[in-house]
Structure 1
Amino acid sequence: MGVRLHAEAGQELSARQEEILAIVHHQGFATIDALARHFDVSTQTVRRDIIYLDEQQLLQRFHGGAGVREATVRLGYAEKRITAAEAKERIARIAVGLIKPGETVFLDVGTTVEAVARALRGRSGLRVFTSSLAAATILSAEQDAEVFVTGGMLRGPDGSLTDEWARDAVSRFRFDVAILGFSGIDDDGALMDFDLRKVAVKQAVAARASRTVAVGESSKLLRPAIVRVLDTDRIDTLATNDAPPPLVAETLAKAGVEVLFPQG
């Protein structure tokens, strides 16, 4: 595991608790059922371990499982820009391949969406709406492009625009394709996020888009976040960098969500 983790006040962890920590830190999230099968113990036993580890602030307890604590998951934005940069570029190429010439595109906020903006450079007849100052800046030098910024309150180092101004702005338009980022998924495949202020804008965009493409690294498919953003019936395609875990793939397939990732 690299660094051996111990509970506060000198309390040693059991071998099973240390292995649970190793699994969670490796995967980002693990369900109680999966851990119970792995250790061949009851779900109640695993649940007690998770409650204890959560109390010691070594992991974060969620409904149905445990994940890396939020402070660990949510990297600084500068670090996010360089983390898994190649994976984000591969996701971006898939997403851009879904956009037809002349279509109107909405770009959400986040480093993966910024990679999509970079991949869009050089496309002719581009019409982009965005709530991301970063994405708008990336496309600002494109002479054969129309770039519209929603307005709203500037929030955080990612240059995102939020509040009712941004939500009302996107509600006035129709988009052929909405490219939306996310922080995790719920048990039923719904997109989730950590930032409640951005959710209303994402939901308003999805309601005005003919197609919704979710973009995110495959590691996000193994963890939940705080608030649901979109149910699966509002997601047409998920573009990611690797094959989803079997349970996630099955959940999304049953919901009719197309999952695309690089082959080979």
Structure 2
Amino acid sequence: MTYGDRQSDGITARQAEIVAIVAEQGYTTLESLASRFSVSMQSVRRDIIQLDQMRLLQRFHGGAGPSDNTVRLGYQEKRSRSAEAKTRIASKAAEFVPDGATLFLDSGTTIEALAQQLRGRRTGLRIFTTCLATAMVVAGEPDIELHVIGGTSRGADGSLAGAGTVATLSTIRFDFAFIGFSGFDDDGAVMDYDLEKIAVKQAAMRRTNNAILLGDQSKYERHAIAQIAPPRAFAKLVSDAAPPDRLVEMFSASGLEIVIA
């Protein structure tokens, strides 16, 4: 089959491969796709427009990423994917939390794993979160004072965002903010997909001196849509494996401590 042939589901072989690339990488650019298939950027742009209309991916300026449906389906799988690694990361991150600390817990399955690790292991914690799934992990825990900051739901995990969410976060001081993310930019900056969720992360980070990244090694070679912040904005990165050398150099120069669980 050539790239111009139609498959039974109504897309070409090239379009099917584009969908597979987005599913694997999370985000890809028009330029990289044009180079991969040795076609013009206009050709891959037309492919992406059609795939976006079919809701097989989402069109962004300069590229494509997962569609809302893809993200929701992916979330149902994420809790079991790399579960052991996420538990190790969460357990190591929990070691940094003393009794009586005030925490911001972001959205994401690794953050949920951290919430699980904090149950029954610390006393007097005050946890603020913008994620309903994270909140449900610690809801009813007698030694945790839970605060769910309201907003508009932005994902399958019940992530909450919006101007009101950011405004509320801006009034609270956190001892630690545990931040989820989706990848790294070429300059080492931390990246994610949803601009409103990024605004929430940034608001929490402005209210702490200890912003800590949690993410497994699959994030090292991924890009996303937009930057959250440069490495120097974070105190630690907790992961299950060391980053590639290029990232290690950038992180070291920025003062970001790498913690391997």
TM-score relative to the length of structure 2: 0.77
Which runs of at least 4 in structure 1 moved beyond 4 Å after TM superposition? Answer: 10-13, 44-47, 71-75
| Percent of paired sites with the same residue | 40
Aligned to 1:170: 169
CA distance in 2 between partners of 1:138 and 1:12 (Å):
42
Whether the 8 Å CA contact 2:25–2:223 is kept in 1: the answer is no
**1:61-104 deviation line (CA, Å, top 9, x unaligned):** x9xxx9x9645984521111211111111110111111122211
The alpha carbon displacement at 1:246 in A equals 1.5
**Structure 1 counterpart of 2:240, which letter?**
N
Whether the 8 Å CA contact 1:191–1:230 is kept in 2: the answer is yes
Aligned to 1:117: 115
CA distance in 2 between partners of 1:73 and 1:155 (Å):
14
Distance 1:227 1:50, change over 3 A: farther
Question: What SS does the aligned partner of 1:229 have?
Answer: strand
CA distance in 2 between partners of 1:141 and 1:147 (Å):
8
Match 1:8 to one of 4, 7, 22: 4
Question: What SS does the aligned partner of 1:167 have?
Answer: helix
Query: RMSD in angstroms over aligned alpha carbons?
Result: 3.6
The alpha carbon displacement at 1:196 in A equals 1.2
Aligned to 1:37: none
The alpha carbon displacement at 1:117 in A equals 0.5
CA distance in 2 between partners of 1:223 and 1:177 (Å):
25
Match 2:97 to one of 93, 96, 99: 99
**1:158-213 deviation line (CA, Å, top 9, x unaligned):** 11111011111111110010000001111122111111111111111000012000
CA distance in 1 between partners of 2:40 and 2:98 (Å):
49
Whether the 8 Å CA contact 1:28–1:219 is kept in 2: the answer is no
The alpha carbon displacement at 1:245 in A equals 1.3
Distance 1:69 1:118, change over 3 A: same
Q: Does 1:190 align with 2:189?
A: yes
**Structure 1 counterpart of 2:216, which letter?**
E
Question: What SS does the aligned partner of 1:175 have?
Answer: coil
Aligned to 1:237: 236
1:65-214 to 2 correspondences below 5 Å: 70=66, 74=71, 76-122=74-120, 123-214=122-213
Whether the 8 Å CA contact 1:131–1:151 is kept in 2: the answer is yes
TM-score relative to the length of structure 1: 0.76
Aligned to 1:36: none
Whether the 8 Å CA contact 1:77–1:158 is kept in 2: the answer is yes
**Structure 1 counterpart of 2:252, which letter?**
A
Aligned to 2:223: 224
Distance 1:247 1:149, change over 3 A: same
Aligned to 2:248: 249
CA distance in 1 between partners of 2:232 and 2:246 (Å):
18
CA distance in 2 between partners of 1:137 and 1:145 (Å):
12
